[in-house]
Amino acid sequence: MNPTVRLVTVDADYAGQRIDNFLMRELKGVPKSRIYNLLRRGEVRLNKSRVKPDQKLAFGDVVRVPPVRVAVREGVVVPGGLDSSLRSAILYEDDGLIIINKPSGLAVHGGSGISLGLIEALRQMYPDQRSLELVHRLDRDTSGCVMVAKKRSVLKQLHELLKARKGVDKRYLALVAGKWPVRKQQVNAPLQKNVLNSGERMVRVELDGKKSLTEFTLIKRVAGASLIEAKPITGRTHQIRVHCQYAGYPILGDDKYGDDGANAHFKQLGLKRLFLHAHSLSFTLDGRRVDVKAPLPSELEKILDSAGSEL
């Protein structure tokens, strides 16, 4: 036997996981297409038999992981500045979970020309944590609370809580154009993903889309805009951004769903990013209550000050 072939026994933490996802963890850095090629060619074996990518693993299964040389890409080392800023951005940590205050402009994962995202950076920063996985996602331009599981069991529990809709209370702060009405407390509008010819992903309100619900609370008004709190009940792509646009009060700094005129005005006041921030998370995990808040970034606080009181 080739000495670099590994036989990995599936422990209870990974029971129920698809083998393609299991291999992506075992063969970090190997392209997804290469992993599917290994499965097709029968180089990966489950209990000595060929296996399909969607096969779910059971406790005690033995997976033959073939030797694969991983090309080390240059320029994918975590810069020292990012390393220190991410360490200082940790809001909560225990044996199974990290909650981090993600900065705007950092993607949660690599891909589409991005070599280093939050999860890749954390995996390099914590090489002993072999099971780090994103629990959920934030848009690249959105800042705030992101959960990263250290254990497969914690990942599964949190996914169940997120599916339950009311299991995880997520709240966002957004500055929107115009005077958000006090009585506007929810937007219930189905959302459909669309891909444009350019490859850019857009989301639109469409009758045959997926049910989507966001609850809103007006916090205060400033000149030309309103600071609101958004609580997504469902978790669709770009949900808060599209629901604000649909309501007629697009989020400022949004170059995809925003208002050009309002964006230009607030750009003059110094707004250089999407004014959307995931500011709190609350849930119960293993009998423990977790309540985490990420303060509004200073550059967004300055915009509120610059805008001044409502006229």
Structure tokens at 239: 């949900």
- Name the strand (E) or helix (H) holding 46: strand 45-46
For 296, the 3-state DSSP assignment is coil
Please state, in angstroms and rounded to a whole number, the distance separating the CA atoms of residues 181 and 227.
11
pLDDT at residue 78 is higher than 90: no
pLDDT at residue 29 is higher than 80: no
> pLDDT of 244-293, one tens digit each?
999 999 999 999 999 999 999 999 999 999 999 999 999 999 899 999 99
Sequence-distant contacts of 212-217: CB under 8 A, at least 24 apart: 212/188, 212/236, 212/239, 212/243, 213/186, 213/187, 213/188, 214/186, 214/187, 214/239, 214/240, 214/243, 215/185, 215/186, 216/180, 216/184, 216/185, 216/186, 216/187, 216/247, 217/185
pLDDT at residue 120 is higher than 80: yes
pLDDT at residue 74 is higher than 60: no
> pLDDT of 101-119, one tens digit each?
999 999 998 765 666 789 9
Closest CA to 254 of 234, 233, 225, 231: 225
pLDDT at position 73: 46
Q: How confident is the model at residue 166 (pLDDT cuts 50, 70, 90)?
A: confident
Kindly report the CA angle at 154 between 79 and 63, in degrees rounded to 5?
85
Task: Note whether 308 and 223 are within 8 A (CB).
Answer: yes
> Mean pLDDT across the stretch 4-9?
85
pLDDT at position 3: 46
pLDDT at position 265: 94
Please state, in angstroms and rounded to a whole number, the distance separating the CA atoms of residues 293 and 285.
17
Catalytic residue numbers? 139
- Percentage with pLDDT > 70 across the chain: 92
Of 37-41, 143-147, 163-167, the one with minimum mean pLDDT is: 163-167
Closest CA to 25 of 8, 50, 45: 8
Q: Of residues 296 and 6, which shows the higher confidence score?
A: 296
By CB atoms closer than 10 A (0-12, 13-18, 19+), residue 291 is: exposed
pLDDT at residue 76 is higher than 80: no
> Mean pLDDT across the stretch 190-215?
88
pLDDT at position 126: 87
